[in-house]
Amino acid sequence: MGAGVSELNISPVAGRFVGAEHVFPVRVYFEDTDLSGVVYHANYLRFMERARSDMLRCAGIDQRAAHEAGDGVYVVRDIAIRYAAPARLDDALIVVSRVLRVRAASVNIQQRVMRDGELLTQADVEAAFVTPNGRARRQPQEWVEAFVPLVWKGN
């Protein structure tokens, strides 16, 4: 018959680095759309958040361990988003993330939501590292070192 569910080795969807860009696949489901049948604008932020979290994981940054140890977490300090074209039900999207700049307590990331090479949405995100009580602090040095080779040097 086949393997039972407990025997399957299935992992959640994950992205990967292609050079210095992180690519993360997203499928548009009915719950992502509004009454007009297009992706509700706030859901692009969800797609980008998942992609950023996956990018950090792929870069070797363990946000969960830092949070559980009480060291701190990343928070979105600033975001500028532009919508160019709508995504629709069942579209296969790719969120492309680039690290633009790394500072002692923050990182700037550009994210683009693409469908078949077409830009749908773009955001410039500043993520700041903060203590559990919300005060800015230096991010762990090993995280800065993980980001440095990923800083986008392309066009």
- Supply the residues annotated as catalytic: 34
Phi, psi dihedrals of residue 10, rounded to the nearest 5°: -110, 130
Residues 6+ apart with CB under 8 A from 74: 56, 63, 107, 127, 128, 129, 130, 139
Tokens 């993980």 identify what position? 146
Residue 30 and residue 47: Cα distance in Å, rounded?
14
Burial tier of 15 (Cβ tally within 10 Å: 0-12, 13-18, 19+): buried
